[in-house]
């Protein structure tokens, strides 16, 4: 049997995160090269090494990855993986002075909202919240690390005695959420030898709606939906958006804690273990669904702990008879019957638009990101919904759902914009092109769109054909046809 030397290099990318690169030294057949997997987790890396016990594994260690290499070697020893392991000193990375804390703060926002990209659901734990590290045994720490993504973060609900001296047993960054006063928090991020602080504001949805305050300086705002008043204010906002096809900036820029519970059920990461809270039932003084006691993790597989709970709870919940079942996340099926849950279920059943509302919010949030200083909270963005058409307002389509998942159209001030979901790019377009594209979204035929535009603008066939040619060229250019 031929043996090979695999070089494992863990390098820092432009996002301040780590990429695991595995290469074979010398010449190797195609079958060996094709056998190298994409590695994003500790488990994947250990599995790859276990699969090649007779080959040499060469780790390249440098300042940017030495902590990760150390953890990998410790995991190999803990799990008694016997392989020919060598650690080589590599060339140091260039000092780019990149602001890594921005990447990790963006991760904190994702952790709080639960709005993880779909592919994160298959890459193990990204964020771990631990109430008291001193109560976590060495064995449990090892298992949690093994079940995590290499680019993960450890969160603490309060400030430790000295963040600089915090034991770095998990994550690229260690982050504490420190409560101040007047609903302000400090997010303190330790990455490598650097410590950064970012202030955020936490408000209930009802309080914020009654007293909108988007312009809190540079502070980001997180909204909680925990009380009956919060649910009523949220449902009123969703209903108004659907009926009018408008959304004010004040309802776009803030983040909603556990926003994932209102999105499509595919966004729910509870059963995939993407985020986990050990012994900590609250985040930002608000309950979370992904909390679990350390006793429950001690003798049970981490990957399936919520799966077992879900199976039991789903049978008892009665959710299988609910008409909103296709859109509901796992956490609601596991939640006990409370007044708040009744309001949640009522919104899901009577306002199916809520899922689309969350999608629209996040598209517009990405458009306005970084522009807080240049927009007014009272400014309005307009778009089409099932009951309100903005561009293609043909009578027979006014109650027709927008079927396209490829793009989204909206207007702000005097301009019209097109968002391509596949490329996540925005284009400024004219009203005529928006009318044409919305007709497509409504499932209208080319002849129906032609008749509508010609009639609305009193165009001749020749003028329409010239327009149609330009519209076709544009859609081809941006990848819509």
Asked whether the beta carbons of 109 and 189 are under 8 A apart, the reply is: no
The whole domain housing 13 covers 5-89
Asked if residue 373 is part of any domain, the answer here is no
Considering the domain architecture, whether residues 247 and 197 belong to the same structural domain is answered as: yes
Considering the domain architecture, whether residues 105 and 251 belong to the same structural domain is answered as: yes
> What are the pLDDT tens digits along the chain (481 aa)?
678 899 999 999 988 899 999 999 888 888 888 889 999 999 999 999 998 888 899 999 998 899 999 999 999 999 888 778 999 988 776 655 567 889 999 999 999 999 999 888 888 899 999 988 888 899 999 999 999 999 999 998 876 555 555 668 999 999 999 998 888 999 999 888 888 999 999 999 999 998 876 555 668 999 999 999 999 999 999 999 999 999 999 999 999 999 999 999 899 988 888 999 998 888 998 989 888 888 888 777 776 777 777 777 777 777 888 888 888 888 888 888 888 889 999 999 999 999 999 999 999 999 998 777 778 888 999 999 999 999 999 988 877 777 667 899 999 999 999 999 999 999 999 999 999 999 999 999 999 999 999 999 999 999 999 999 999 999 999 998 7
Considering the domain architecture, whether residues 274 and 141 belong to the same structural domain is answered as: yes
Counted residue by residue, the chain has a size of 481
3-state secondary structure 63-117: CCCHHHHHHHHHHHHHCCCCCEEEEEECCCCCCCCCCHHHHHHHHHHHHHHCCCC
Asked if residue 76 is part of any domain, the answer here is yes
The phi-psi region of residue 434 (left if phi > 0; otherwise alpha if psi is between -120 and 50; otherwise beta) is alpha
Considering the domain architecture, whether residues 304 and 221 belong to the same structural domain is answered as: yes
Considering the domain architecture, whether residues 58 and 118 belong to the same structural domain is answered as: no
Q: Looking at 114-224, list the stretches that DSSP marks H as alpha helix, in order from N- to C-terminal side.
A: 138-146, 205-210
Spatial strand order of the sheet with 380-383 comes to: 246-248, 380-383, 407-412, 415-420, 425-429
Asked if residue 367 is part of any domain, the answer here is no
CA atoms within 13 A on the CB side of 120: 20
Asked if residue 369 is part of any domain, the answer here is no
Considering the domain architecture, whether residues 78 and 109 belong to the same structural domain is answered as: no
Burial of 17: CB neighbours in 10 Å, binned 0-12, 13-18, 19+ = middle
Give the count of domains, the chain.
3
Asked if residue 152 is part of any domain, the answer here is yes
Domain C-terminal end among 340, 355, 370: 355
Asked if residue 362 is part of any domain, the answer here is no
Asked whether the beta carbons of 294 and 136 are under 8 A apart, the reply is: yes
Considering the domain architecture, whether residues 84 and 105 belong to the same structural domain is answered as: no
343's tokens: 């309001």
Domain C-terminal end among 335, 355, 375: 355
pTM, two decimal places: 0.92
Domain C-terminal end among 33, 66, 89: 89
Considering the domain architecture, whether residues 31 and 137 belong to the same structural domain is answered as: no
Considering the domain architecture, whether residues 200 and 256 belong to the same structural domain is answered as: yes
Asked if residue 419 is part of any domain, the answer here is yes
């Amino acid at each position: 049997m031929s043996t090979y030397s695999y070089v494992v290099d863990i390098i820092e990318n432009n996002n301040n995160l780590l990429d695991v690169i595995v290469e074979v030294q010398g010449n190797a057949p195609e079958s060996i090269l094709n056998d190298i997997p994409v590695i994003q987790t500790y488990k994947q890396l250990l599995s790859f090494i276990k699969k090649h016990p007779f080959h040499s594994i060469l780790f390249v260690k440098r300042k940017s990855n030495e902590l990760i290499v150390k953890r990998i070697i410790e995991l190999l020893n803990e799990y008694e993986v016997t392989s020919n392991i060598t650690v080589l000193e590599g060339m140091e990375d260039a000092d780019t002075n990149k602001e890594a804390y921005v990447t990790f703060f963006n991760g904190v926002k994702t952790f709080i909202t639960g709005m993880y990209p779909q592919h994160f659901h298959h890459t193990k734990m990204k964020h771990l919240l631990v109430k008291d590290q001193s109560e976590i045994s060495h064995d449990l720490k090892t298992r949690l690390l093994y079940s995590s993504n290499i680019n993960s973060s450890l969160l603490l609900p309060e400030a430790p005695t000295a963040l600089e001296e915090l034991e770095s047993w998990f994550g690229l960054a260690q982050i504490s959420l420190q409560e101040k006063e007047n609903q302000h928090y400090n997010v303190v991020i330790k990455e490598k030898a650097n410590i950064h602080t970012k202030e955020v504001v936490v408000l209930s949805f009802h309080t914020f709606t009654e007293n909108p305050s988007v312009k809190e300086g540079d502070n980001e705002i997180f909204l909680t939906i925990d009380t009956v008043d919060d649910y009523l204010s949220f449902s009123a906002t969703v209903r108004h958006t659907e009926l009018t096809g408008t959304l004010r900036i004040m309802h776009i820029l803030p983040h909603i804690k556990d926003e994932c519970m209102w999105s499509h059920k595919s966004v729910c990461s509870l059963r995939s273990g993407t985020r986990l809270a050990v012994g900590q039932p609250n985040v930002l003084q608000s309950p979370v669904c992904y909390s679990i006691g350390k006793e429950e993790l001690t003798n049970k597989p981490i990957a399936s702990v919520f799966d077992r709970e879900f199976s039991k709870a789903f049978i008892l919940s009665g959710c299988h008879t609910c008409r909103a079942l296709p859109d509901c996340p796992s956490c609601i099926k596991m939640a006990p019957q409370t007044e708040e849950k009744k309001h949640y279920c009522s919104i899901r059943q009577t306002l199916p638009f809520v899922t689309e509302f969350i999608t629209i919010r996040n598209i517009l949030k990405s458009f306005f990101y970084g522009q807080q200083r240049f927009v007014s909270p009272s400014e309005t963005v307009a778009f089409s919904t099932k009951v309100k058409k903005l561009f293609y307002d043909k009578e027979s389509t006014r109650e027709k759902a927008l079927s396209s998942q490829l793009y989204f159209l909206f207007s702000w001030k005097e301009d019209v914009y097109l968002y391509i979901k596949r490329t996540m790019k925005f284009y400024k377009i004219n009203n005529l092109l928006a009318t044409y594209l919305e007709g497509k979204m409504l499932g209208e035929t080319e002849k129906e769109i032609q008749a509508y535009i010609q009639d609305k603008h009193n165009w001749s066939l020749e003028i329409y054909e010239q327009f149609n040619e330009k519209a076709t060229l544009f859609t081809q250019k941006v990848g819509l046809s």
